[in-house]
Structures are given as C-alpha cells and as structure tokens.
Structure 1
C-alpha cells in the first residue's frame, strides 16, 4: 500500500472516529430545550409577549435561582402526577420566583432602554413535542415606544448544567412587521426591524448547526456514503434522503403532520443501523476486493436491490424530516413568512449535507480505486461501527435509558 493511500485511509478513519466519539449515550441531539416566544404590539410602547417553556426545566431552574426548595418539591410532585391544573397551581403559588427567573433572562428593549415587564394573568399549560410546557403572558411598558424593539433571550443557559444548547424561537407581529427569528447562546438578541437577509442568515445558520450537532443524522448520511459505490449512486441516495426529509419536515413544522418523539427517535436510530447493515450485507455477498459484482466495477446499474435501497432510504428520510421539525419547534399559524423561514432552515441542512458528501466520498473513491482491499476493509469497519451505534441508540430510546 502506497504512502498516499495509507494517509487517505488514516484520515478517513480519523474523521469517522471523531464524529462517532462526539455522540451522546442515548439522544444524539443531547439534552436540549426549545423556548417559544410570541411578540405582538397593538399600542406603541406596550408590547405583549407569550413565553412557553418546558415545565420541569422551568421548575428546577427557577427553584435553583431563587433557592426555593418548596417550588422544587411541589413542582416535581405535580410533574409526576401529570395533572396540568396541579402544575399551573404550583407555578401560580410561586409566581414571583418563576416570573423573576424568566424576566431576568428574557427581555425587551426599545431605543437601547429596557422595557418593564408585568405578568399578565396566571400560568397556563400546553404541550409541545410530547412534553408539558408552561405558558407565561407578559405585558411590557417601553419608554421609547417609537424605536425598534430588541428581543433578548438567555433562558436555560449551559452554565446551569440542566440542558445544553437552548434555542428560543421568536415569532412576532409588530408595527406591520411579521416574521420569525431563532436565538441561542451565540446569537442571543435581534432587532425586529432586521432586514430580510439577516432573517435568512439566522435560519440558514440554525439549520446548518442542527445537522452538524445532530450526530444521528450525520451517521445516517455516513452510512449512505460508505454504502455507495459510484458518484451517481451517492447522489441518488442523498437526493432521495433530501426529498423525503424535506417533505415531512415542512408538513410537521407547519402542524399538518404530528408524530410523537417517542416514535420518531427510535426509528431514526434504527434507520442508521439498517442502512449501515445493508452495506455490510452487500460486502458479504460480493467477495471481490472492491466489494463489487464481477464485471460491474466502474459503471452504474440500478438493479432491484438498488431500487429497494432507495425505497428504504426514502422511508427513513421521511422519519428524519420529523426529527428536523421537532428540533426547530415552530408551531405557529400558517404564513408565507413562516414557510420562508422553514425553507431557509432546510437550505442550511442541505448545505452541510452536501459539504459532508463532497469531502468524504471523493476520498473514499480514491481509496477504493488505488487500494480496493483497503477500501473494502475501511468501509466495512465504518459501517460496522455505525450499525452498532445505531442499534445501541435504538435500544436506549426504546427502553428510555
């Protein structure tokens, strides 16, 4: 084996190890949370916000910040009973502590001057993605009512160590401006009068970051890459995956399709194992060094097995789209602005997906051509590792471990 081929093999294996090594034990996205905030203003200088936060996370975070042991005990007990009225009653009984936690980390300002919040009514409960959410209404008074509103959110920061990577999805209808924005630790604030290209970049970045941090989606893509023999085959597989997840992503994010995460997440894990296992089966079936049927190396032919593989990829892609939608967590009413945000988010996903294919597949193709046995061994090892990871996640998500 030449030094160049050896370097390619080492680089490929190192990249796979680096990706797999970042995987969490059970949930590939980590323990993240999404906050939903709706901002509206009918009178200048008096905006209203409705903030929705995961109930159990809000209870432990607010209790910790206020050193309120009673809030923790009562809130935890209400969470276990599963009664929405009990949960709302606990929040109302500790309204000052809970509201103080939220308004210390979620704020509006106008003309550089902070707006003053006031709680609007009592707490209510809702459900998002199968989890109970607390709903808090806030009325704000802004001294400079004519200036553009700035929204800032640092809710549930990583430093609290309860979750990691909290996103705040903001929808707004203020002074004739309607739109959405995504806030996180790296980009905690935005002006409601931002330009269209600033909104484009926010959702494009959010989509790209989601795929980069979604290790399960990356491993599924990696299984497609190592299991594809020609550029045309990997393009067909990646395109099939893209079309499938784009359809269900848009339908689910627009609220037209709803599947619980308890179903989606295990199936995503299973999809990783199945697609990786497919390549291992094909390697075992064809014994030549490149893992190809004799006489068919170097050209493409989509036989019955190839069509079946694309069908499997398409079906699993539909489920991955539900996972993408659950991560974004937008459940606003239909609007063209919302559709635009969703499409841009999806573009961010596709950009990273194309970059991964463009980097890994050419290196793998060079390895297969220059050292067929090494290429067969490398793809087999990668597929085996990915399959084991997928089966492990599947078992953990089924059992709730």
Structure 2
C-alpha cells in the first residue's frame, strides 16, 4: 500500500515534468469582435485579429502567397503602415477567409453576406504584446420575415484544425436586435444567438473560466505546489484564499484597463512563481533533515499561522497578483471592452474558483491521509512532487524568457 501511494505521488510529479505542453499560453490567440447594427438588414462587425496569425492563416487557406510576401516583412519590421497596406491590398482573400469562419445568419437561418470596408488599422495589443489588425465588415442580410428573430453568430477563426494555434477564443460584445451583451466562443462552443438569455451568456464565461484553469497547466501546478506545502487544512484554505483575493484584484483591474503589463513579463513571472513556491517547500523539507515533526506548525499566531506560515502566505499573495494578469491575458482584456464585459469577467473568475476548489478538495485529503499513515512516505512523496513542479516551472521560465 505504501509503495503504491509513493508511486502515485512520484508519477504525479513526473507527469507535471514530462506531460506538459511547451507553454501553457504561448500558442493560443484571442479574437475581438464588436457587433452592431445601425440600419435594417445590416450587421456591422469590427474584428481585432492577431496580425501574423491572420497573414499565415489567410495565405494558407486562400492560397494567397502575395499576402504572405507583403504582410510578413511588414510584421517582421514592425511597420504598421505597411501592415495596413497589405491588408487593404488583399481584402478579397481576407474576406474569403473571414466570411467562411465568422458567419452571421438571421434567426431563420438565412446567411448574411460580408463585405470588407476600407477602414483598416494596425497597432500593438499591449495585453497580448503582439501587433493586431482591426478590420471592419458589413454583413448584408436578406429581408426579414416572421421566422427571423435575432441573429446567430458563429466564429471558427484560427481554429485548432489549421495547425497554427490552439484554443482560440473569440470574445465579443454586441448591441443588435434591441439587445446588448457579451459572449465568449471557442471550438467547443462556436456560436450564439442574440436571443439567448442572460444566464446562457454567463454560463459561457463560467465554462470558459473553468476550462482555462483545467487546461492552464502552469496555474494547476502552482495550486499543486500550494497544496503540497500546506501542513494542515487551515494553511491550504488561507493560501487558496490569499491567491484568490490577489488574482481577483489584478484580474478586475485589468478588466477596467487600469493595468496592462505585457505578456513577455507576466508569463515568465508566472512560471517563476511555480518554481518559487515549490522551492520554498523543498527548503522547508531540507531544513527538517527528514524529521517530519519539524514540519508541524509552531505556536498559535494570528489566524493560527506561525512565522513560516505568514512568509508563505505573503509569497502566495504576491504571485497571485501576477496570476490574475495571466487570467486576464487569457481573454486578451483591453479597456475598450472592459465595462460591458465586467460582469461576464466576474463569472469567468467564478469558473476558475470552482475548479480551484475542486482540485483542493480532491488533492489535500489524500496528502493529509498519507501524512497520517506514514510521515516518512509523506516526506518523500512531497519532495518528489515539489521537485517535479519546481523543475517544470524552471523549464517554462527559461523557455518564456528565450
């Protein structure tokens, strides 16, 4: 029994080290969409698209090598006027690509036809830290009849099947058909109706938040490091609460456009936080010299934490602030969308918390049982887990810096 338990813990650390993707966030993208209607039978779409991804996707899908030849050097040089010129020059290919993957239909299922408008711009997206192109389309819809209530919008832009990125999200706001709101689309849930209820819209963001934590291995490993280093339930609850408060603060601040540090700073810091928290656990294990009793909480300070407990809590809070920026970056939040998306983003955050609570509820009792049954086995298992997590965080840190 003891050998099986030890094997499970060691395997968990090994999976964290070898089974992870090269980067938890580095190969995904966010599409911004603003949907309005200023006249009957017309739906206007403003799309924010990652520029280099637009170039390779359109060039590949539409067999337009000219767009790649014009657009890629402009992106390499950071020449925004040249980027805009390349988009305008290849409007037909871009319309062909977008028209097949961002569709608008009437409530009765009639397709609307897109036309790309000449108003194009390109600029650096501060949150994603990459150039974005903003293109506008006018979708002309057939005359409405008694079956046409609302519009159905579907986005499969930059889908996984194209092979360039994975888990692209389309975050949109809309004010059409006398309704306004926001929605989040991905490969699994690619369409929505402007007639859907508010709770359906909120469910999309809750699901998206839960899915982000489940697929964001760096955040999960940080949580695992918290659990492994907690000596009793009170510590893991306080650590998780501290982490939640911290990342909620920066998440909302990013939603309001108050802070927007670039991803090239946020992502390596998240990776470093994983290593730091796991290394703190290893340092404590090293100081104990194999004596599990030395890891027991000492004294009863404020909230039942001793000096080591408070130091760890401070570390968790500081890094939680950075993780909040990472969560915000998952949706590519910019100030132009913030107010209308605010409540949806709160629900996104609730989805993150639901998964976080589930992981703690599943993992901590197992470690507590292992600690009670065999202190020695607990020490070795915790050390193996913390080592695997620390090495994975270090690997990500170097990779994201490079």
Identify the TM-score tier after normalising by the shorter chain.
over 0.9
Q: State the match for 2:73 in structure 1.
A: 77
SS of the aligned residue for 2:292 comes to coil
State the match for 2:93 in structure 1.
97
**Partner residue in 2 for 1:50:** 46
1:356-371, aligned counterparts within 5 Å?
356-371=359-374
For normalisation by structure 1, the TM-score amounts to 0.93
| 1:343 aligns with one of 336, 341, 346 | 346
Question: Does the aligned pair in 1 maintain the 2:49–2:132 contact within 8 Å?
Answer: yes
8 Å Cα contact 1:120/1:139 also seen in 2: yes
Contact 1:158 1:165 in 2 (8 A): yes
CA distance in 1 between partners of 2:338 and 2:222 (Å) = 32
Shift of 1:182: 0.7
- What SS is found at the alignment partner of 2:333? coil
Closer, same or farther in 2 for the Cα pair 1:57/1:193, shift >3 Å?
Answer: same
Partner residue of 1:355?
358
Name which of 302, 308, 311 aligns with 1:308. 311
**3-state SS of 1:52 partner:** strand
Match of 1:379? 382
Moved more, 108-117 or 125-134: 125-134
Residue of structure 2 equivalent to 1:86: 82
Do 1:9 and 1:367's aligned partners in 2 also have CA atoms closer than 8 Å?
Answer: no
Q: SS at 2:294's partner residue?
A: coil
Distance 1:366 1:292 in 2: 18
The number of residues matched between the two structures is: 395
Q: Structure 1's 89 and 336: CA in aligned 2 closer, same or farther, altered over 3 A? A: closer
Provide closer, same or farther for how the CA distance between residues 86 and 334 of structure 1 changes in structure 2, counting only shifts above 3 A: closer
Report the CA distance between 1:350 and its aligned residue: 0.3
- Which ranges in structure 1 are unaligned for 5 or more consecutive residues? none
| Cross-structure match for 2:320 | 317
- Give the distance between the partners of 1:335 and 1:394, measured in 2 at CA: 30
Aligned CA distance change for structure 1 residues 294 and 201 (closer, same or farther; 3 Å)? closer
User: 1: distance between equivalents of 2:225 and 2:69?
Assistant: 45
Residues 251-309 of structure 1: CA deviation (Å, up to 9, x unaligned): 11221111011111111111111100000010111235426347859999412222111
Q: Tell me, yes or no, if the aligned pair for 2:14 and 2:388 is still in contact at 8 Å.
A: no
Question: What residue number does 2:133 align with?
Answer: 134
**Cα–Cα, structure 1 residues 333 and 375, in superposed 2: closer, same or farther, change >3 Å?**
same
Distance 1:335 1:125 in 2: 20
Q: Please give the secondary structure, in 1, of the residue aligned with 2:369.
A: helix
Q: What displacement does 1:241 show?
A: 0.4
For 1:119, which of 110, 116, 121 is the aligned residue? 116
Residues in 1 aligned to 2:308 and 2:235: alpha-carbon distance in whole angstroms: 12
| SS of the residue 2:344 aligns to | helix
Out of 274, 277, 292, the position equivalent to 2:276 is 274
Would you say 1:31 and 2:27 are equivalent positions? yes
State the distance in 2 between where 1:396 and 1:19 align. 16
Cα distance in 2 for residues equivalent to 1:387 and 1:260: 24
| Distance verdict in 2 for CA 1:298–1:307, change over 3 Å | closer
Q: Which residue of 2 aligns with 1:161?
A: 163
Distance 1:84 1:372 in 2: 61
For residues 87 and 37 of structure 2, what CA distance do their matches in structure 1 show? Answer: 26
TM-score norm. by structure 2 comes to 0.93
Deviations 1:64-99, CA, capped at 9 Å, x for gaps: 112122221221111111011001111111111112
1:385 CA drift (Å): 1.0
Contact 1:230 1:298 in 2 (8 A): no
Which residue pairs with 1:253 in the alignment? 255
Shift of residue 20, structure 1, vs aligned partner: 4.1
Sort the Cα spacing of 1:318 and 1:350 in 2 relative to 1 into closer, same or farther, 3 A. Answer: same
